[in-house]
Structure 1
Amino acid sequence: MPQLSRRAFASGLPLGLIGGSLLGSGLIGGGPASALAATQETAAAASAVPVSVTPLAQIRIGRFTVTALTDGYADMPYTFFPGRSAAEVEQAATAQFTARPSGVRIVFNQYLVEDGGRRILIDAGPAGSIGQTGALPQAFNALGLQRDQIDAVIVTHMHQDHMGGLIADGRNNYPKAELFIDRRDVKHWTDPAKRAGAPDYLQTSFRMAGEVVRLYPRLQAIDGEREIVPGISIVDLTGHTPGHIGVRIEDGGQSLIMVSDMLFPVVHPGATDVFFVFEQDQAAARAMRERFFPRAASEGALIAATHMPFPGLGRIVDDRGHMRWQVADWAYQG
């Protein structure tokens, strides 16, 4: 378990919901390689579908305002969750109202953290490379922001759905931002030997990683847990990828932990022996979840997760020995 103090697990203030939810269709299902290929081939058309509602949600953590945004959504085939049969995953998704004909409906949440002086974005979304995505610029417009007003971007890991927005259209889309990525992920995803031996459905992530390194000369490959600015620090959540990290936001006795892909809807946190097809080291991913889930439950940690239903905020609850996701309370703010 990463070194998370009891203070770091303190709860935050009620969430203020500003927007609604995205509507539309998703992907074509299939095996990992064929399904993702179909996803990527149709991504450009999917991202062109107009999104009628831009969901935004805000929460205060001490002096910080954290805004939940989304780049869109995709339907992940039921075969994408090793550790359970497709039929079992579909049954669970049906019970949770996230089942679609082509798979589990998941979203891609990003989080903007502001303290009145700096704007820090956590992850940049897939930007049209998967499913019906590419809506993050629209969310910025709803806030009256441009991407060149972002001071820093923290990338929790170098999968395409977390960094695609950095390099969409072959450009540096956050020209004034420092970029923070764990050194282990940079090393892994820019290694030619690892790319040569990787399956087809990971090739886009390898290609994007090379583009990120080329287009972002201010990239900082960081080592381990460290503070980015006062109150915003890196949490080591290695497992999903070699350098998978979370972000802790803490001030005034309150905190929020953004845990990225530690949690996937339908299968987590109820089980630690269910994975996602993109995870290369299932043993490491399981070990991290087995350490993190009970500790988070015992401390009542307020958590933000990339793929949990928007806005992705909740807590892990130990319900008589069974871990479950409890959506965080929220209230309209006047």
Structure 2
Amino acid sequence: MTDLSRRAFAGGVSLGIIGGGLMPLLGPAASAAAAATAAATPARVTPLAQIRIGRFTVTALTDGYADMPYNFFPGRTAAQVEQAAKTQHTARPSGVRFVFNQYLIEDGERRVLLDTGPAGSIGQTGALPQAFTALGLRRDQIDAVIVTHMHQDHMGGLVIGGQNNYPNAELYIDRRDVTHWTDPAKRAGAPDYLQTSFRMSSEVVRLYPRLQAIDGEREIVRGISIVDLTGHTPGHIGVRIEDAGQSLIMVSDMLFPVVHPAATDVGFLFEQDPAAAKAMRDRFLPAAASEGALIAATHMPFPGLGRIVSDRGQLRWQVADWAMQT
């Protein structure tokens, strides 16, 4: 963990903030017409939040949400997970609410998107195109997409409708995941709940000739690098953004709401290697707490930005302050 800690958290993690704090945006901030439309249909407004990391603007987006049944968390009984949700005042009849956060990174020259969401294949999702509209962007303006792993809730937007939805983007996925999710033998032996991920993975490979299967930690563009977080899937990765002494690390499915970061022995039904996933959490989360790292997590409540802190010997999630400040 020494090298990961040194590289991921070097230089501190203070927010380079817009207006002195994280800036929430509901719909396009500069468009009065769009704001009026959003006011008329508040239930469909897609939230956005922006922060600065040096020269980068990072925009948190969301494709929507789904509730995961309480029995999807091996290591605890359904009753224990539900009680934990009640203690945190987040319990819902249908389970633990997972938000599907994506992150758009811009530096004035390139637009890099981290994951594309389930795009309607799970729960109440499919809102990412609306978020792009709120920003005045089209999907063909995205220069690169980094897929943290090949589960349907992270890559569905790439292939929804059976087409290449990011036609001008270079696509980066860890080679281990590409190998695993396109292996016919592994698909044949996989449970039903993973079959959609196998099918979508084959479509990604077929529809994206510019797919780059990457090996290990590397820099995608200056200041945007891959971090190896294997365990959840064979090629599960994170993305580190750093510039001007500031940094943010997107940890994808390293963290799940209600159960993490306090209980690293609690897994999730979809994890390919539970022991490796636990070992990675055991190494990574205490280091993140020690360094005070700013983290972005796919499934934590929007915008998924926070820190791991040690509270009387127990790790907990502390939401990053994104109140408007002047």
Please say whether Structure 1 and Structure 2 have the same fold, judged by a TM-score greater than 0.5: yes
Counterpart-to-counterpart distance in 2, 1:9 and 1:94: 35
Superposed, 1:306-317 pairs within 5 Å as: 306-317=298-309
Q: Does 1:15 align with 2:22?
A: yes
Which runs of 5 or more structure 1 residues have no equivalent in the other structure? 21-48
1:230 aligned residue:
222
Superposed, 1:17-96 pairs within 5 Å as: 17-19=24-26, 51-96=43-88
Counterpart-to-counterpart distance in 2, 1:333 and 1:12: 13
1:116 aligned residue:
108
Counterpart-to-counterpart distance in 1, 2:322 and 2:177: 34
Counterpart-to-counterpart distance in 2, 1:12 and 1:242: 32
1:180 aligned residue:
172
Q: Which amino acid aligns with 2:300?
A: M
Contact 1:246–1:258 (CA<8 Å) still a contact in 2? yes
Distance 1:90 1:8, change over 3 A: farther
Higher mean C-alpha deviation, range 284-293 or range 90-99: 90-99
1:216 aligned residue:
208
Offset of 1:19 from its aligned partner? 2.6
Offset of 1:7 from its aligned partner? 1.3
Structure 1 residues 24-78: Cα deviation after superposition (integer angstroms, max 9, x where no partner): xxxxxxxxxxxxxxxxxxxxxxxxx995221000000000000000000001000
Offset of 1:4 from its aligned partner? 3.2
Q: Which amino acid aligns with 2:131?
A: A
Counterpart-to-counterpart distance in 2, 1:182 and 1:193: 20
Counterpart-to-counterpart distance in 1, 2:42 and 2:222: 39
1:321 aligned residue:
313
Offset of 1:289 from its aligned partner? 0.1
Structure 1 residues 295-334: Cα deviation after superposition (integer angstroms, max 9, x where no partner): 0000000000000000000000011110000000113277
User: Of the candidates 313, 331, 334, which is equivalent to residue 323 of structure 2?
Assistant: 331
Contact 1:8–1:248 (CA<8 Å) still a contact in 2? no
Which secondary structure does the structure 2 equivalent of 1:214 belong to? helix
Contact 2:248–2:295 (CA<8 Å) still a contact in 1? yes
Structure 1 residues 67-112: Cα deviation after superposition (integer angstroms, max 9, x where no partner): 0000000010001000000001111112223221111111000000
Structure 1 residues 159-209: Cα deviation after superposition (integer angstroms, max 9, x where no partner): 000000000000100000000000000000000000000000000000000
Counterpart-to-counterpart distance in 2, 1:4 and 1:133: 34
Q: Which amino acid aligns with 2:22?
A: L
Contact 1:9–1:296 (CA<8 Å) still a contact in 2? no
Which secondary structure does the structure 2 equivalent of 1:186 belong to? helix
Counterpart-to-counterpart distance in 2, 1:244 and 1:51: 33
Which secondary structure does the structure 2 equivalent of 1:308 belong to? coil
1:30 aligned residue:
none
Question: TM-score, normalization: structure 2?
Answer: 0.91
Offset of 1:127 from its aligned partner? 0.2
Q: Which amino acid aligns with 2:322?
A: W
Counterpart-to-counterpart distance in 1, 2:199 and 2:155: 11
User: Of the candidates 186, 201, 204, which is equivalent to residue 196 of structure 2?
Assistant: 204
Q: CA RMSD in A?
A: 1.5
Q: Between the two proteins, what is the percent identity of the paired residues? A: 81
1:39 aligned residue:
none
Counterpart-to-counterpart distance in 2, 1:274 and 1:214: 35
Q: Which amino acid aligns with 2:280?
A: M
1:257 aligned residue:
249
Which runs of 5 or more structure 2 residues have no equivalent in the other structure? 28-40
Counterpart-to-counterpart distance in 1, 2:219 and 2:70: 38
